[in-house]
């Protein structure tokens, strides 16, 4: 669990933090701290490779934290990547998802940290409307605060490299 210990040391903060879900936490994993470390991010991606489901055709990283993770994971799997915006821009290509084509392809959503799963649920609905076959989501850290259940309710399976409990155990 050396990787978990390193992530904990780099990214674990204490204080008062308002999460995307609106919940307030006294502990926070600052994902940008591990995503900004190219050596650590590469090790995370390498460890995630076995978690990518067989038959995956495209990895789709969610804006913003999922983008560096999906890029690193794509390097290790050789799979094409898509970069999914929270909403399509009104200019340029005006696409919700940039990069690899998704229609008719088996897509795995990639996120950095999952709390409630809200953004994955929203993005998956939009990706499915674009013709993507999305059944799974993959994340670096599952905060174990309802995300897996929220995804299951929309026919998605969440797989995480680590959970909050794993990181606490690794830090001891």
Tens of pLDDT, residues 17-27: 997 778 788 98
Asked if residue 51 has pLDDT above 80, the reply is: yes
User: Residues at the annotated binding site for 5-phospho-alpha-D-ribose 1-diphosphate?
Assistant: 20, 85-86, 89, 111-119
User: Residues at the annotated binding site?
Assistant: 20, 85-86, 89, 111-119, 143
Number of structural domains in the chain = 1
Least confident of 13-22, 103-112, 131-140: 13-22
Residues sharing a CB contact under 8 Å with residue 129, sequence separation 6 or more, in sequence order: none
The shares of helix, strand and coil residues in the chain, as percent rounded to the nearest 5, are 40, 30, 30
Residue numbers of the domain that contains 102: 2-171
Mean pLDDT of 71-89: 95
Asked if residue 46 has pLDDT above 80, the reply is: yes
In this prediction, residue 122 carries a pLDDT of 95
Is residue 165 classed exposed, middle or buried when 0-12, 13-18 and 19+ CB atoms within 10 A define those classes?
Answer: exposed
63 — pLDDT class (breaks 50, 70, 90): very high
75: domain CATH number?
3.40.50.2020
The strand pairing partners of 163, in sequence order, are 142
In this prediction, residue 43 carries a pLDDT of 97
User: Residues at the annotated binding site for orotate?
Assistant: 115, 143
């Amino acid at each position: 669990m050396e990787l978990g210990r390193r992530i904990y040391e780099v990214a674990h903060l204490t204080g008062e933090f308002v999460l995307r879900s609106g919940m307030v936490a006294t502990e926070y994993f600052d994902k940008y701290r591990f995503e900004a470390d190219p050596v650590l991010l590469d090790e995370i991606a390498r460890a995630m490779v076995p978690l990518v489901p067989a038959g995956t055709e495209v990895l789709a990283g969610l804006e913003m934290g999922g983008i560096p993770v999906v890029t690193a994971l794509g390097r290790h799997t050789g799979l094409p990547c898509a970069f999914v915006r929270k909403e399509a821009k009104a200019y340029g290509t005006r696409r919700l998802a940039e990069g690899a084509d998704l229609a008719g392809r088996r897509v795995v959503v990639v996120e950095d940290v999952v709390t409630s799963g809200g953004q994955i649920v929203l993005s998956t609905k939009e990706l499915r409307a674009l013709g993507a076959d999305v059944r799974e989501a993959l994340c670096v850290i599952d905060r174990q605060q309802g995300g897996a259940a929220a995804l299951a309710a929309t026919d998605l399976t969440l797989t995480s490299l680590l959970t909050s409990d794993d990181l606490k155990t690794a830090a001891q």
